[in-house]
Every structure is written in structure tokens, then in C-alpha cells.
Structure 1
Amino acid sequence: MAFGGAIGTAVRAFLAQAFPAVDGISWTILAINVVGAFCLGLLLDTLARRGPDVGRRRSLRLFVGTGVLGGFTTYSTLANDTARLLGDGRWAAGGGYALLSVVLGLAAVVAGLAVAGGTTERAAR
């Protein structure tokens, strides 16, 4: 799990450095969190449909879900960036960034679940 976290964190750090914040808003972190939410929904639904959370499925869930995706996503940076924007008096930017992150994250999880469900149903035919 720790190795997975190191992988996810390294990828996030690379992307955040390659695509820095614009005017105090890190669109890269927003995209990372949304992609991570989608992947987590996809992973968990796919694994749940294949059987109980034991053995290799459990190991995969912990390595990829908790490790890689846990290290890749960063809601603490979202909270810090939002607090900084609000502290600078940029209420619309801070509130919009936080709200957009939550709404897009929820939509991404739902999309991941839908894709996993559709893939599993097609494979069962």
C-alpha cells in the first residue's frame, strides 16, 4: 500500500509541477481529484461485482485504491487552496473552486460506477 501511495504521490507531484496554478487556482489539482474519483468508482464497482473483498481482489483494492489513488488525489491541497483564496478575499473563486471540485468529483464517481457496471454487464453476456 505504501509503495502504491508513493507512485500516486509522485505522479501528482510531477503533474502539479508541470502545470502550475493559474491566478491562485490549481486546475491541475482539480483535474487530478476528478480523475481519481472516477478511477476509484470504476475500481471499487468492478471489484465488488467480481466477488468478495478477499485475496487478490482485496490486495488490488488496497494497492490501487488506497495506495495509488489515495496518493494521487489530494483533498488537503484542495482545502488549502480554497482557504488561501478565501483568505485573500476571493470569495467567488474560492467558493466556486470548492463547489466545482465536489460536484465534479461526485459526477466522476457516478460515471466510474456506470462504466464499471456497463463493462461488467457486457462481459457477462
Structure 2
Amino acid sequence: MGSGMGSRPARTVGDPPRPRRAAPLREQGPVVAVVALGGVIGAFARYGAGLLWPTATGAFPWTTFLVNAAGCAAIGVLMVAVVERRPSAHRLVRPFLGTGVLGGFTTFSTYTVDVQRLLAAGHVAVALVYLAATPVAALLCVWSAAALTRRVWRTT
């Protein structure tokens, strides 16, 4: 064992791996920047969808539902494309597109607010259908888009 404050005892065979230290800001900075930039792009796209297809009070929130489903399908395609087909893609592609653009585009916080508003307005049946249908649709969209992407790439 060393005597300095930052010294660590030497590792021996069989020791568990040491936890990875947080990357310095110069390594995290570009990731944070592309996630933020992508998030702005995705949020603007979602906002635009809401302007184009507004939801009437008490109605099923189709715009939010379809935005979340489409975003989840895009995540399925992206993960196959970047993780399986192009693992050598630039290290910022996945954070920019996945966490940033698609994270900003999908809106599960709006989903919960929609459910609360529907319940508060007494539209219990619509709220419960929406509450159940959204995560089911999201998971089905991720899975089916990933499976279809794999299948398409297998045949090309």
C-alpha cells in the first residue's frame, strides 16, 4: 500500500475489477453536447406533431401515442443498425440519435400527464386504455422494428 492520498493497494489475482472512474469532462463534454443538440431536434419534431395533429379534450391522445410508437420503432432500427450492423460507427452516433433525437421525440412524460388529465376530466375508460396501450405499443414497436431490420439486412 502506498502512503499518498490517491494510492491504492496493488491488485492481486482473483480481486474483483475496480469500478471505472467517471470520465473527465473533456471526454463527457462531446456526448453531453450531442445529446442536448439531438434532444432539441427531437423535441421540436414532437412539438410540430402536436401542432399538426392536436388532441381534443377528453379524446384519446393519438398524437402522443403515435409519436411514442414511431420513436420506439426508430429506436429498434437504430439499435440494430448501430450496435449490430455498424459497431464501428462514430461513438457519438448512438447518443445523438438514440438518447438525443429519439429521446427528445418520444414523450413518456406527456403520456403520464395525458393520463392524469383524462382521469381528472372523468374519462376513466379512455385513460385506462391509453395507460395500457402505450407501453404495449412501445415494446411491440421496438421489437418488431428491430426484427424487421435484422430480416431486411439478412436478405441484402
User: As a proportion of its length, which structure holds more helix?
Assistant: 1
Q: Between the two proteins, what is the percent identity of the paired residues?
A: 35
Larger Rg: 2
CA contact (8 A) 2:38 2:104 kept: yes
1:7 is the counterpart of 2:41:
yes
1:64 and 2:97 aligned: yes
Aligned counterparts of 1:55 and 1:117: Cα–Cα separation in 2: 17
Is structure 2 residue 135 aligned with structure 1 residue 122? Answer: no
**Residue number in structure 1 paired with 2:30:** none
* Residue identity opposite 1:108 in structure 2: C
Please point out which of 45, 49, 73 is paired with 2:80: 45
TM-score (norm 1): 0.88
Larger RCO, structure (CA 8 Å, separation 6 or more): 1
Is the 8 Å Cα contact of residues 6 and 71 (structure 1) preserved in structure 2?
yes
Aligned residues: 121
In the alignment, what sits opposite 2:63? 28
Q: How far apart, in 2, do the equivalents of 1:40 and 1:55 lie?
A: 16
- The residue aligned with 2:53 is 19
Give the C-alpha shift of residue 55 in structure 1: 5.6
1:46 is aligned with what amino acid? A
Q: CA deviation at 1:106?
A: 1.2
Deviation at residue 70 of structure 1 after TM alignment: 0.5
Q: CA RMSD in A?
A: 1.5
Letter matched to residue 23 of structure 1: T
Distance 1:22 1:86 in 2: 15
Contact kept, 8 Å, 2:75 with 2:98, in 1: the verdict is yes
Shift of 1:117: 0.9
| Corresponding residue number in structure 1 for 2:28 | none
Moved >3 Å (runs of 4+): none
**Alpha-carbon offset, residue 51 of structure 1:** 5.3
Q: Which residue identity is paired with 1:2?
A: A
